[in-house]
Structure 1
Amino acid sequence: MTAKSQIYAISGPIIKIAGPTEFSMQEMVYVGDDQLIGEIIGITDEETTIQVYEETAGLTPGEWVYGTDLPMKVQLGPGLLNNIYDGIERPLKEIEKQSGYFIKRGVNVKSLNTDKKWPIKMKVSVGEHVRGGSIIAEVDETAAITHKVMVPPNTIGEVIEVVPDGDYSIEDPLIKIKQFDGTITPIKAYQEWPIRTPRPVAERYESNIPLLTGQRIIDSVFPIAKGGTAAIPGGFGTGKTTMQHQIAKYADADIIVYIGCGERGNEMTEVLEDFSKLIDPRTNAPLMERTVLIANTSNMPVAAREASIYTGLTIAEYYRDMGYDVAIMADSTSRWAEALRELSGRLEEMPAEEGFPAYLASRIATFYERAGFMHNLNNSEGSVSIIGAVSPQGGDFSEPVTQNTKRFVRCFWGLDSNLAHSRHYPAVSWMNSYSQYVNDLSDWYNKNISEDFVANRAEMVALLHEEDQLMEVVKLIGSDVLPDHQKLVLQTAKVLRLGFLQQSSFHNIDAAVPMKKQAKMLEVILYLHHRAKSLVQWGMPMTYIAKSPIFNHVINMKFDVENDDDEKFQEYFDEIDAFYEKAMEENG
Structure 2
Amino acid sequence: MSENLIYSINGPVITVKDSSDFEMLEMVYVGHKKLMGEVISITNKFTTIQVYESTTSLKPGEPVFPTGMPISVTLGPGIIKNIFDGIERPLKDISQLSGAFIEPGSNVESLDTHREWDVTMKIQEGEELSPGQIFATVPETNLIEHRLMIPPHLYGTAVYVAENGKRKIHDCILKLKDETGTVHELTLVQKWPIKTPRPVKERLPISIPLITGQRVIDTLFPIAKGGTAAVPGGFGTGKTMTQHQLAKWCDADIIVYVGCGERGNEMTQVLEEFSELIDPKSNRPLLERTVLIANTSNMPVAAREASIYTGITLAEYYRDMGYHVAMMADSTSRWAEALREISGRLEEMPAEEGFPAYLPSRISQFYERAGYVKNTNYSEGSVSIIGAVSPQGADFSEPVTQNTKRFVRCFWALDKQLAYIRHYSAINWNLSYSEYAGDLSRWYNKNLGPKFLTFRNEIMTLLAEENKLMEIVKLIGSDVLPDDQKLIIEISKVIRVGFLQQNAFHKDDTYVPLEKQLKMMEVILYLNRKAKEFISSDKSLNMLIQTGIFENVTRMKYDVPNDNLGKLDEYYGIIDKAVAKA
Bin the TM-score by the shorter chain.
over 0.9
Structure 2 distance, partners of 1:517, 1:176, is 53
Alignment pair present for 1:102 and 2:95: no
Q: CA deviation at 1:228?
A: 0.4
Q: CA deviation at 1:4?
A: 4.7
Task: Kindly report which structure 2 residues correspond to 1:406-485, keeping only aligned pairs within 5 A, or say none.
Answer: 406-485=405-484
Look up the match of 2:389: 390
Task: Kindly report which structure 2 residues correspond to 1:519-530, keeping only aligned pairs within 5 A, or say none.
Answer: 519-530=518-529
Q: Deviations over 1:432-451 (max 9, x none)?
A: 10000010011111000121
Task: Kindly report which structure 2 residues correspond to 1:43-442, keeping only aligned pairs within 5 A, or say none.
Answer: 43-442=42-441
Contiguous gaps of at least 5 residues in structure 1: 584-588
Task: Kindly report which structure 2 residues correspond to 1:528-567, keeping only aligned pairs within 5 A, or say none.
Answer: 528-567=527-566
- Does 540-549 or 441-450 show the bigger shift? 540-549
Structure 2 distance, partners of 1:456, 1:548, is 25
Structure 2 distance, partners of 1:250, 1:362, is 32
Q: Deviations over 1:144-169 (max 9, x none)?
A: 11111111111111111111110001
Structure 1 distance, partners of 2:208, 2:343, is 39
Counterpart of 2:231, as a letter, is: I
User: What secondary structure is seen at the aligned counterpart in 2 of 1:293?
Assistant: strand
Q: CA deviation at 1:578?
A: 3.0
Structure 2 distance, partners of 1:503, 1:486, is 26
Q: CA deviation at 1:581?
A: 4.2
CA contact (8 A) 1:265 1:299 kept: yes
Structure 2 distance, partners of 1:375, 1:107, is 38
Counterpart of 1:467, as a letter, is: E
Structure 2 distance, partners of 1:218, 1:431, is 13
Alignment pair present for 1:34 and 2:45: no
Q: CA deviation at 1:582?
A: 4.4
Q: CA deviation at 1:386?
A: 0.4
Q: CA deviation at 1:259?
A: 0.3
Q: CA deviation at 1:538?
A: 2.0
Q: Deviations over 1:234-289 (max 9, x none)?
A: 11111111111110010000100000000111111111111111111122221111
- Does 518-527 or 95-104 show the bigger shift? 95-104
Q: CA deviation at 1:531?
A: 1.1
CA contact (8 A) 1:201 1:376 kept: yes
Structure 1 distance, partners of 2:125, 2:576, is 70
Structure 2 distance, partners of 1:427, 1:348, is 39
CA contact (8 A) 1:250 1:512 kept: yes
Counterpart of 2:103, as a letter, is: K
Q: Deviations over 1:90-121 (max 9, x none)?
A: 00011111112221111100001111100011
Counterpart of 2:138, as a letter, is: V
Contiguous gaps of at least 5 residues in structure 2: none
Counterpart of 1:436, as a letter, is: E
CA contact (8 A) 1:4 1:67 kept: no
User: What secondary structure is seen at the aligned counterpart in 2 of 1:398?
Assistant: coil
Structure 2 distance, partners of 1:370, 1:563, is 35
Counterpart of 2:77, as a letter, is: P
How large is the Cα RMSD of the aligned pairs? 1.1
Stretches (4+) displaced over 6 A: none
Structure 2 distance, partners of 1:124, 1:514, is 41
Counterpart of 2:498, as a letter, is: G
Structure 2 distance, partners of 1:477, 1:97, is 66
Structure 2 distance, partners of 1:153, 1:374, is 15
Structure 2 distance, partners of 1:132, 1:53, is 32
- The number of equivalent residue pairs is 582
Counterpart of 2:278, as a letter, is: I
- Does 296-305 or 537-546 show the bigger shift? 537-546
Counterpart of 1:186, as a letter, is: E
CA contact (8 A) 2:323 2:381 kept: yes
Q: CA deviation at 1:389?
A: 0.6
Structure 1 distance, partners of 2:202, 2:3, is 41
Counterpart of 2:199, as a letter, is: P
Q: Deviations over 1:274-328 (max 9, x none)?
A: 1111111122221111111000011111111111000000000000000001001
Counterpart of 1:223, as a letter, is: P
Structure 2 distance, partners of 1:564, 1:439, is 29
Q: Deviations over 1:319-365 (max 9, x none)?
A: 00000010011010010000000000010000111111011111010
Structure 2 distance, partners of 1:352, 1:54, is 27
Q: CA deviation at 1:570?
A: 1.4
Q: Deviations over 1:405-431 (max 9, x none)?
A: 111111110110000111111100001
Structure 2 distance, partners of 1:506, 1:5, is 58
Structure 2 distance, partners of 1:188, 1:72, is 20
Q: CA deviation at 1:548?
A: 2.1
Q: Deviations over 1:362-391 (max 9, x none)?
A: 101011000000100111110000001111
CA contact (8 A) 2:544 2:578 kept: no
Task: Kindly report which structure 2 residues correspond to 1:506-521, keeping only aligned pairs within 5 A, or say none.
Answer: 506-521=505-520
Counterpart of 1:327, as a letter, is: A
Structure 1 distance, partners of 2:463, 2:571, is 22
Q: CA deviation at 1:466?
A: 0.5
CA contact (8 A) 1:20 1:44 kept: no
Task: Kindly report which structure 2 residues correspond to 1:487-502, keeping only aligned pairs within 5 A, or say none.
Answer: 487-502=486-501
Structure 2 distance, partners of 1:227, 1:49, is 36
CA contact (8 A) 1:25 1:41 kept: yes
Structure 2 distance, partners of 1:384, 1:339, is 24
Structure 2 distance, partners of 1:177, 1:425, is 54
Structure 1 distance, partners of 2:178, 2:79, is 29
Structure 2 distance, partners of 1:573, 1:167, is 61
CA contact (8 A) 2:204 2:374 kept: yes
Structure 1 distance, partners of 2:326, 2:48, is 34
CA contact (8 A) 2:4 2:19 kept: no
Counterpart of 1:409, as a letter, is: V
Q: Deviations over 1:511-545 (max 9, x none)?
A: 00001110110011011101111122222211112
CA contact (8 A) 1:450 1:519 kept: no
User: What secondary structure is seen at the aligned counterpart in 1 of 2:439?
Assistant: helix
Structure 2 distance, partners of 1:567, 1:279, is 27
Structure 1 distance, partners of 2:207, 2:573, is 35
Structure 1 distance, partners of 2:514, 2:383, is 21
Q: CA deviation at 1:577?
A: 2.7
